[in-house]
Chains A and B, each alone.
Chain A
Amino acid sequence: MQDSAHILQSQVNDAVTEQRALAICGGGSKQFYGRQVSHDRLDTRIHTGITEYAPTELVLTARAGTPLAEIEATLLQKDQMLGCEPPLFGEYATFGGMLAAGLSGPSRPYRAAVQDTVLGCTILNGNGEILRFGGKVMKNVAGYDVSRLMVGSLGCLGVILEATVKVVPRSPAELTVAFTIGRDKAGALVNDMRRRGLPVTADCHDGDRLLVRFSAGDKEVARLPVQLDRHYSFVDWHRYEDDAFWSQLKNHELPFFTEGRDIWRLSVPAAADISSLIGNAHDVLTEWGGCLHWLKTEASAESVFTVMDACNGHASLFRQEVRGASDQVFQPLPDWHMTWHRRLKTAFDPAGILNPGRMYAGL
């Protein structure tokens, strides 16, 4: 537990004076993500500690450098959790990194996205000013919602120093079921289960079958097999015993992710047609009821981006194993959108010293 906000502040101030760009780093667990930049490091791991945790308020405040694992362990003691189920990608992930990357886990459509959990945050902007937005309460509409803007901004708008997040009670019981059903019918099946009020909290199709996780009270989970039999007798299903699957999925530890090929992340509407990008059915993992695909393809970046534009989705080259450090990692933005991005960048970081180039060139 260490409050080093002022050390980080003076490091930013020095960088401004010397016109020197900084690469904001936490545990380095997501170093691979985004465009590769080589600036001086600003290490948030000196700024640590859970500063407030009120289980009855369902609210936790922590400094950016606090290990995510510590936060999750603390919550676990009170039978609570982060609803966004963030990936850790190794043991060193920090709270600040979770927020800056904004990557949500398998429960995202059913519980919350990272941005949904954020109630407020304190940031260090590119002028070296420490600013606080949002708060510790469930609702807050005073001023613009800068806290949620910070989520997923990859440090390009400010150094997140501290944040308050909403937490949720853990479900007492869980059950994972494997359905033998094609990818094209999987979305509809998940949708149907939700409409019947079944407590779906994650889903994943691997090309052969659909895995669904249910989380609820003991009694409700105990009754699930009967309900599945009743409503879904037309599909083969069986209880899936490997409890580690979901954490391996979110942390990219499944064999799918470790074969040394480039991996794209496609975020699309559930019904989007991405068939033109799929060579082999086993080169895609689908989550979020069809809204998120992990794709291995040798297709050119341009062709992936074009398909995404056509279906109102977006892509990022998530793991660059073959291509090496690519310049085009994220879906290119239309001109007006880039203008807004540049102007916002200037509004928060006029000298352009915070993670420049990590997200887009020139930003």
Chain B
Amino acid sequence: MAEAGIRTRLLQSLKTILAPQYILATEEQLKPFECDGLSVYRELPMLAVLPCNTGEVCSILALCHELGVPVVTRGAGTGLSAGAKPHPQGLLLVLTRLNRILGIDPDAMTARVQPGVRNLAISEAASVHGLFYAPDPSSQIACSIGGNIAENAGGVHCLKYGLTVHNVLQLHGFNARGEPVTVGSGGLDSAGFNLQPLIIGSEGMLMVVTEITVKLLPLPQEVEVMLAAFDSVDAAGQAVSDIIAAGVIPGGLEMMDNNAICAAEDYAHAGYPRDAAAILLIEIDGSPANVQEQLQATREVLKHSGATSLKVAGSPEERALYWKGRKSAFPAVGRISPDYYCMDGTIPRSALAGVLNYIDSLSREYGFAVANVFHAGDGNLHPLILFDANIEGQLEAVEEMGGRILEKCIEVGGTITGEHGVGLEKIRQMPLQFTDAEIAQFHRVKEALDPDNLLNPGKNIPLLKHCQEYRALAADIEPNRLLPRLGQGQ
């Protein structure tokens, strides 16, 4: 059927499922949905819909399956890898209206929520029971739990409490045919293959999630946040390893370099030392006795690691302010530069200092400033490369520089993405981390659960025919470097 014909049929049938105001068809209506948080990738979908219940989602998916129309699911659109970028011949399924908290069970310490619920709203609702939902991406005021599932989102507290995948018990939703599927169980494990982790982080390509049961944790009785300043990035990086090596597992362990410190300070007035080369924010939580023991141990470590100053937040307000600076660091950097490009490579903690130095040398080579603000305890880097997309050639140069950072991450035994996902953005680096056989295996997984390739096609896993080309391009940019696994013709 010709494309125009399909659009007409789809539109007609959608009108039997949804009220007209929830079907978006004109360019003006569709424009706000043309990109996610990575706005350099834009595309208008053929149509977009905003269903309000699972019945509608089910009918919409069945309809798209019948017509062979691709479906891109969208949560809050804060993703940073273009995972929710619309498909030009596809339907954009926006789940923000599925935003109800269906129930909180304080005895079982669980919450049942719809995918459009904002991450922070879960912890807010749970707090009356003295509970919270641990994974807390910095975007938590805005991002949806459905999007968190699709990206396996992390956050400041994941070092101690785990990522999304560690904090979810059950998922309900639909396959590409609109048939109901459930993974996980009401218990702590499930019968058959362990499908839940396969779905979590699958970027909306294996199923559409419409209900989530998350684990809640008791709010810690005591929390202390320490701010440690360093006169070199190396020393701060080393201190991160030293803290973990001392057997302390902080609730959060974040690092910011001078560019990030100054931007955040201007924006949030968090009380960070502007003259420091780097700071660490260290949160210790638990029972009062435990917190004091760990705080003391951390103090000792930091002294030996060369911290130039050490402050423990004196009040809940000051603590909140320290975190506000960190959590608003991206928008703060956004104010000092027309554009920024956020990378997400993850490396062993012991490689932190070396990789940060490498990023610094690239920054000088390319002439782009970089602000580093990241989940240091997890080794999850977030270099923000500052540039101006309106200056011709800058975006391309930044993408090249970003690619080199990711390749470095692979080289030291890390990964191209710790929490933001591959989406479209990092698809060129996938063949550097994986062999053709591994990529072919990913395709077979996709084919097993979505045989018609209708759910978010084209994201996450590169086509095999492009892999060699991407590898060749990377080798061109940096010919002297041999990727440890792939250089050997594997």
Contact = CB atoms under 8 A, between A and B. Distances in A.
A147 to B, nearest CB: 8
Nearest to B152: A141
B419 A141 contact: yes
A56 B247 contact: no
B348 A153 contact: no
Interface string B233-261: 00000000110110101000000000000
Given A138-B379, A148-B165, A270-B108, A131 B189 contact: no
Given A137-B418, A141-B418, A141-B420, A187 B107 contact: yes
Interface in A253-272: 267-272
Given A135-B413, A197-B287, A169 B249 contact: yes
Contact of B415 (A142, A156, A344, A346): A142
B320 interface: no
A155 B162 CA distance: 26
A152 B187 contact: no
A148 B198 contact: yes
Contacts of A291: 187-188
Interface string A290-327: 01100000000000000000011110100000000000
Given A152-B189, A344-B193, A116 B417 contact: no
Contacts of A28: none
A108 B187 CA distance: 12
Contact of A267 (B175, B187, B415): B187
B416 interface: yes
B218 interface: yes
A191 B162 CA distance: 20
A188 B439 CA distance: 47
B435 A142 contact: no
A229 interface: no
B188 A133 contact: no
A346 B447 CA distance: 10
Contacts of A333: 191-192
B193 to A, nearest CB: 5
Contact of B419 (A136, A139, A198): A139
A73 B434 CA distance: 33
A156 B194 CA distance: 12
Interface string A106-132: 001100110110000000010001111
- B-side interface size class: 35 or more
Interface in A139-176: 139-146, 148-153, 156-157, 168-169
A139 B348 CA distance: 10
Interface stretch (A32-40, A214-222, A236-244): A214-222
A143 B348 CA distance: 19
B110 to A, nearest CB: 8
B437 interface: yes
B151 interface: yes
B192 A149 contact: no
Contacts, number: 253
Interface residues of A, number: 85
Contacts of A143: 422, 430, 433-434, 438-439, 442, 460-461
A194 interface: yes
B437 A131 contact: yes
Best-buried of A57, A58, A102, A115 by chain B (most CB within 10 Å): A57
A57 B350 CA distance: 7
B114 interface: no
Contacts of B244: 56-58
B458 interface: no
Best-buried of A113, A141, A330 by chain B (most CB within 10 Å): A141
A219 B289 contact: yes
Contact of A197 (B193, B218, B348, B414): B218
Contact of B193 (A54, A133, A135, A341): A341
Given A143-B461, A348-B444, A149 B179 contact: no
Interface string B263-289: 000000000000000000000001101
A153 B194 contact: yes
A175 B447 CA distance: 50
Interface in B193-213: 193-195, 197-198, 200-202, 206
B441 A348 contact: yes
Contacts of A230: none
Given A187-B107, A197-B286, A269-B187, A148 B348 contact: no
B378 interface: yes
Contact of B188 (A108, A145, A341): A108
A196 B219 CA distance: 9
Given A137-B413, A148-B165, A268-B187, A340 B154 contact: no
A59 interface: yes
Contacts of A357: none
6 closest A-B pairs (Cβ-Cβ)?
Answer: A312-B186, A148-B197, A269-B186, A139-B418, A56-B245, A267-B187
30 contacts: A55-B245, A57-B244, A108-B188, A116-B165, A131-B435, A131-B437, A132-B435, A136-B413, A140-B418, A141-B415, A141-B419, A144-B201, A144-B446, A145-B201, A149-B194, A149-B195, A153-B194, A199-B290, A216-B287, A217-B289, A267-B189, A269-B108, A271-B108, A316-B191, A340-B181, A341-B193, A343-B451, A347-B445, A347-B448, A359-B192
Interface of B: 105, 107-109, 130, 151-152, 154, 158-159, 162-163, 165-166, 170, 175, 179-182, 185-195, 197-198, 200-202, 206, 218, 220-222, 241-242, 244-245, 247, 249, 286-287, 289-290, 293, 346-350, 375, 378-380, 413-422, 426, 430, 433-435, 437-439, 441-442, 444-449, 451, 460-461, 485
Given A131-B438, A219-B293, A331-B191, 17 more contacts: A54-B348, A57-B350, A59-B348, A141-B420, A142-B426, A142-B430, A143-B434, A143-B461, A148-B198, A157-B193, A194-B109, A220-B287, A288-B188, A330-B192, A331-B192, A333-B191, A333-B192
